[in-house]
Amino acid sequence: MSRRQAFTLKPFGLVLFQSLLIFSVSGLNASADLKSLVQHWAKDLGDKLYSFSNKVTMLNDISKKYQTRLKTEEKKHSTIVAETAKKVSQLLEKKVKAVKKLATAAEEAYRNYTVEVNPPVDYLNAKLLITDEDLRAMGGDAQIFMENFQYLRVERRPEYGTTSVNLNLSTVHVATYVYHKTLEVLNGVQWTRALDKVFKENKDNDSNLSWQYFGSAVGFMRVYPGIKWPINDEDRIDLYDCRLQGWYIQGAAAPKNVIILLDSSGSMTGSRMIIAQSTVNKILDTLTVNDYFNIIQFDEKPRYVDSCFNRTLVAANLDNRLRLKRAIKFMKTSNIANFEKALQEAFTLFSEQNKVNNETCCNKAIMLVTDGAPENYEWIFNKYNWKPNSTSKRNVNVRIFPYLIGREVADNRQLRWMAGANKGFYTHISTLADVEERVQNYVKVLSQPLAKPTSHPHIMWTPVYADFIAPELTEDNMRLVTSVSMPVFNKKDNSEDAYKLLGVVGTDVPIDQIISLIPKYQLGVHGYAFAITKKGYVLFHPEFRPFDNGRPKTNYNSVDLTEVELTSNVSVVKNLETAMKDGHQGSISMNVAVHKDFIRVSKRRYHYYYNNIAGFPFSLALVFPEKYGNLQLKTNFDIGKKDVLRNKSFRLSRWKYCENQEETSMSRLYESIMRAKRATPEKCDRDLVNLLAFDADMLVKLFKVWKGKKREKIKKKGVEIIFVGTSSGLFLYEQFVDELTDFTILHMQDTISSSYYEQAVEVGRARDEMRCRHGINETYTFSVPINTFLQRGNERIEYLDLNTTAITVSVPVLKCASGGDRQNYTVAGVSGYQMSFYKFDELVSETFGCPNGKYCSIYNGDNSNYTVFVIDHNGIIITSSTKTTVGLFLGNTFEPIVMEDLWNRRVYNNFTITDYQAECHPKNSNGPNSAEALINPMKKFLFTIIWIFHELIMFITEWSFANWISKSSRVSGEEDYPNPADYPDYSVEPPMIDDIERKPCEKSVSLFLADFNAVPSDGIAGSYSYSNSCKIQREMDPTAQQTPEYCYINKDFRITYATQQIPNTNLLLLVVKQMNCICEVNKPNELLKLQLSKLTLNETDECKKLKQTGATKGDYSYQCFSSYEEEGSVNAQTTVGHSAVLLSMLPLFSSYWSLYL
């Protein structure tokens, strides 16, 4: 269907207007007169704005300086990306060196340690510490708390965000369901004290080193620098367990293929199925994005719990894990269990995956979750799993991990035999209280091959994740990091537990540290960098949006490259992703649609240069825009001749001009780069610093013109600030008023990424090549803050506060290539100014001959009126005679039919942008609902009774348990310690992510971009009529708090409009003539709403997407050892203590309620 047909037929919900809306031939003369008038106004306004802007910005003077005193040279894109990748590799190598040193020190410390029967019980428990801030808050009660808490002196350090730290020591965090005074914990705390010395040495060797830690296999974590463990929510239990973190699991074992066999026979009905589901969920929580898995339920025959994943292993990213968690939530039980068919299906799936992928994950495991097996099925394992090796001993291909569910089970011998015969591990899960501590024991087994004496160090890197060690879970406090970790084993000679996993050491690498190595000035405006993992997941990318309303999104650490590179040719992105995952280097080009906050859009052609980060599972790409991304500026300016960088009025972008640079003021930078010979030191980027010095020297002279008499003239016109941002990261401004209407521009931390800079270059690039070749006029970009409240209709509309709204005007400063290559150019900077909205509105209104901002000359005495709009290249209203529409998209005002016609005439082209990282919040939440309470009062009553019972049990158990602990200052024997497994089950999602309320989804929006070439030199005019009667809403004062009135007409209702581009700007002048009533049926096309709408994927498409994401296998940067003959044994914990029986009822009751009530 053509655009014209789309407009005529109204396929998006406007078919009912087809009989109402007709083109009015009788209105042609009126349209022609209006068009001529608008053409005249547009020219006058354009001339006025261009002349005024040229004088204010001094563009001609600045351009002349850059054109005559600077040179350009071709960028060596491949060299730039190779050098950057090398710098990143060197940075990461420092972190690996620190972790290796920690692992060696930890194994040595344990080798020299003798286990104590009565170890000291006092240590710096991070959850039992008090700081100066706490003491101040407690006032007179401080002394009481000091008796039960240890004091920790802390300070703020920039490399640790908002968390206060102590750099002289480490502190210990113990998982909530692990008793913090067991012999295992106390002995572990003792021998790991030796790590403090290494922690500090590593920090001395690398001042940018972030958190360092040792996570113990018994449930505690030693972290450096020392911290008081944050309380993210006083109403929630601390759920952090280092053994469930990605860095621990990946560091402890090689990637794995896991098939979970879940018994759904009749004997599993009731509490056993609840425990089994909790067990499966916890197994899924121990999987990482490097793993693959599936779940098969079985009774008389095996069935995949999700038909989408039949006969396949899928990546264990969060999307897939959550999907299968939901699939087992309401699983039905029936019939008897056929273990034979279930085991055969699992082994067949492993075999088929080997054929399809050739290479698979290092470890293979079957997790058998059942309440008992009638036999050991030796013949099945003999057929599928046991192969003789050169020494005639069994070679086990797949490990078996049985989980026996239920307290009263008849026989466990068959399951124990399966585990022992297949190098697995048997676990008895009696109650929900056992799940948290015991499910993860299989990790210890999978770790043993890594301790093989001939194996290489097992060094693993995590995908990006949010480090949330902060007092509050907000976007500002959570830094994105990747972590490097490696296992620590018992290396004692002749030890019964030789090569047993002791824990995992690691350190975080903030993503900001990697990004700081990107040479932004070499990328230039609109250039950017990104990195992905070997799985194709984004490590960083400008379009990567991991947070939603300040909270991490549910699947933020498994965003695929195809979800951030938006192009109509997805196959090109796939090719790029494949090349990068395979570690290749090269280049590729493609057209992409670039959006800004899903409101503004532009279309660009980019050149991608990519390179492997040698020795690490990451790949880096630098992206350069076509034409103006091919040249870079060069200068012979000698920084040693002048003290140009001492000017304190300059501001710098937060770039890395020199190594170990912490300040962004010009004077501090000058002091850090100058030596006795007054030359740029080796540790600074010479080209960048010299260009910065040239910019400073040249601009400070020009800015002197804005002093004195000229300053007063500019100030009278309403200009509040004049500024220049340069490609070297320098920002210089002159402020003409004591208080700016809008301070935003002074807080932008990066010149070339600022909105004024990017928009000026984006708008100007259509004519910049012609500027260099033929010297045509520049294009000034006018912008206004976007009104994000774009709803209309019966909903309340928010309006911009025009008293705090400023108009920003900017224009690019070009450096054209010399000689015959004048079609090439680069952007040296952007010059601009800001003025308050009302002053700009007065300047515009002078065009129409009206004082005081009133558009009086275009009103007449009949019952029609005119509405004047000045709209920008994205359809955003810069100013209008109806001030309530400022900052809105034209299609969201009461003139949508005009926007639709401009779209059909191709004055505006639409681009559909899909947000693949969106999250949807279900309308039917699990929260309180008053209507539901009225409909089902019994359910509400039962919920209240259970809540009271829950609180009563918690009070009794906590009171009695706490008193028992307080009576003992030292525990003498292991038998006196509570069993860690006896603590209540806290198997809920971490507070930072709520996967029940939020679900990943896709949304799309149509954004608009003007093509001013589609506007004829004499402008455009249109006229439309409603021939039938309709209900009309009177236009009223939007600030008036009263019900809108309506009028009814039974005659033609005509809309006439005319539009023309305002020369040398990014603006269109639009004048609309209509009745002083607004027809209620005049609703916009769905495309014109400028609102993100949820996309509904059919099951086939959703399955295809889920299976493709993270589907790469077999590409790992380590040597694989899945088993070896001398593996030790890990004893299963099968007993259940009695001190937590009452507490263990709570999660059982809670789960029963959520599933069946």
Cβ(10)–Cβ(22) under 8 Å?
Answer: no
Q: Are 707 and 723 in contact (CB under 8 A)?
A: no
pLDDT on residue 206: 94
947: tokens are 């809540």
Distances (CA, A) of 369 to 56, 259, 283: 75, 11, 11
Q: What is the 3-state secondary structure of 258-312?
A: EEEEEECCHHHCCHHHHHHHHHHHHHHHCCCCCCEEEEEEECCCEEECCHHHCCC
Buried b (16+ CB within 10 A) or exposed e, 667-697: eebbebbbeeeeebeeebbebbbbbbbbbbb
Same domain for 314 and 402, yes or no, is yes
In a domain, residue 945? The reply is no
Give the pLDDT of residue 850.
54
Burial profile 1045-1079: b = 16 or more Cβ within 10 angstroms, e = fewer = eeeeeeeebbbbbbbbbbbbbbbbbbbbbbbebbb
Provide the H-helix boundaries in 58-192.
59-69, 77-111, 132-138, 142-146, 183-191
CA dist 382 and 397 (Å) reads: 11
Instruction: List CB contacts of 207: < 8 A, sequence separation 6 or more.
Output: 159, 660
Using CA atoms, how far apart are residues 1143 and 38, in angstroms rounded to an integer?
Answer: 78
Domain presence at residue 287: yes
Give φ, ψ of 752 to 5 degrees. Answer: -70, -15
Distance between CA 715 and CA 238 in Å, rounded? 58
Give the amino acid at 1124.
Y
pLDDT at 1047: 44
Under DSSP, the state recorded for 362 is S
Give counts: helices (H), strands (E), the chain.
29, 47
In a domain, 169, yes or no: yes
What SS3 class is residue 1010? strand
Same domain, yes or no: 356 and 305: yes
Q: Is residue 21 part of a domain?
A: no
Burial class (CB in 10 A: 0-12, 13-18, 19+), 215: buried
Number of domains in the chain: 3
Give the side-chain half-sphere CA count within 13 A for 51: 7
Residue reference for tokens 């708090």: 1041
Nearest to 999 by CA among 325, 61, 444: 325
Mean pLDDT by 10 residues, the chain (1157 residues): 34 29 40 82 94 92 90 94 97 97 97 92 91 77 72 89 91 92 96 97 94 96 93 65 93 92 94 95 93 95 93 89 91 94 95 71 90 93 79 74 88 92 94 89 88 77 81 66 95 81 96 94 95 94 89 87 90 94 95 92 95 95 93 82 65 82 59 50 78 89 74 86 94 91 88 95 80 80 80 55 93 82 82 94 78 48 67 94 87 80 92 91 48 44 52 43 36 36 37 56 93 87 60 42 43 76 95 63 64 83 75 54 56 38 40 39
Task: Look up the pTM and report it.
Answer: 0.85
The first and second tokens of residue 1154, run together, are 């959520």
Domain end point (choices 594, 629, 664): 629
Q: Specify the residue for token string 């004591």.
A: 738
Which of 492, 511, 530 marks a domain boundary?
511
User: Could you tell me if residue 1077 is inside a domain?
Assistant: no
Kindly state whether residues 263 and 361 are assigned to the same domain.
yes
Radius of gyration of the CA atoms of the chain, in A:
34
Q: Tokens in use for 740?
A: 């700016």
Structural contact between residues 659 and 856, judged by C-beta atoms closer than 8 angstroms = no
Give me 894's structure tokens.
């009461």
Q: Residue 129 forms beta bridges with which residues?
A: 150
Q: Is residue 1028 part of a domain?
A: no
Hey, what are 528's tokens?
């950017």
**DSSP conformation letters of 415-449:** HHHHHHHTT---EEE-SHHHHHHHGGGHHHHHHGG
Q: CA-CA-CA-CA torsion for 201, 206, 208, 209, nearest 10 degrees?
A: -50
What's the CA gap between 818 and 690, in Å, rounded? Answer: 21
Concatenated DSSP letters of 364-404: EEEEEEES--SS--HHHHHHHTEEE-TTS-EEESSEEEEEE
What are the structure tokens assigned to 908, written together?
């505006």
**Residues 327, 310 share a domain:** yes
pLDDT number for residue 675: 44
The rounded distance, in Å, linking the Cα atoms of 340 and 346 is: 10
218 and 286 together in one domain:
no
Residue 305, domain CATH: 3.40.50.410
pLDDT recorded at residue 816: 87
Does 167 fall in a domain? yes
User: What span, in angstroms and rounded, lies between the C-alpha atoms of 412 and 404?
Assistant: 7
Pairing of strands 212-216, 501-510: antiparallel
Residues 91 and 164 reside in one and the same domain: yes
Structure confidence at residue 132 (pLDDT): 84
Question: For residue 426, what are the domain limits?
Answer: 256-455+1121-1156
* Mode of pairing for the β-strands spanning 155-156 and 460-461: unpaired
CB atoms near residue 385 (< 10 Å): 22
Determine the Cα–Cα distance for residues 397 and 346; give it in Å rounded to an integer.
13
Do residues 534 and 617 share a domain? yes
Element (DSSP H or E) covering residue 771: helix 755-774
Q: Domain check: are 398 and 486 in the same one?
A: no
Q: Residue 563 maps to which CATH number?
A: 3.30.450.20
d(CA 886, CA 663) in angstroms, rounded, equals 39
Element (H, E) at 1049: strand 1046-1049
Residue 529 shares a structural domain with residue 592: yes
Q: How many CB atoms lie within 10 A of CB 113?
A: 16
Both 474 and 601 in a single domain?
Answer: no
**Tokens representing residue 369 in the block:** 């979750």
Query: Hey, what are 1070's tokens?
Result: 């639009």
Note whether 445 and 529 are same-domain residues. Answer: no
Which residues neighbour 372 within 8 Å (Cβ) at sequence distance 6 or greater? Answer: 267, 404, 409, 410, 411, 412, 414, 415
Cβ contact 928:564 at 8 Å: no
Parallel/antiparallel/unpaired status of strands 292-298 and 256-263: parallel
521 burial level (CB within 10 Å; 0-12, 13-18, 19+) = buried
Instruction: Give residues with Cβ within 8 angstroms of 135, minimum separation 6.
Output: 142
- For residue 857, what pLDDT is reported? 54
**Are 1 and 9 spatial neighbours (Cβ–Cβ below 8 Å)?**
yes
Residue 122 counted as domain residue = yes
Tokens representing 690 are: 């010299």
Q: Give residue 1064's identity as a one-letter amino acid code.
A: N
- The angle subtended at Cα 69 by Cα 63 and Cα 72, nearest 5°, is 90
Residue 130's contacts (CB-CB under 8 Å, 6 or more residues apart) are 145, 146, 149, 150, 151, 152, 228
Q: 717 near 843, Cβ under 8 Å? A: yes
CB 497 within 8 A of CB 510: no
1101: left (phi over 0), alpha (psi -120 to 50) or beta: alpha
432 and 489 within one domain: no
How far the first Cα of the chain sits from its last, in Å, is 51
Cα–Cα distance measured from residue 675 to residue 688, given in angstroms and rounded to the nearest whole number: 17
Q: Of the candidates 176, 164, 79, which has an alpha carbon nearest to the alpha carbon of residue 990?
A: 176
Residues in the chain: 1157
Last residue of a domain, one of 590, 611, 629: 629
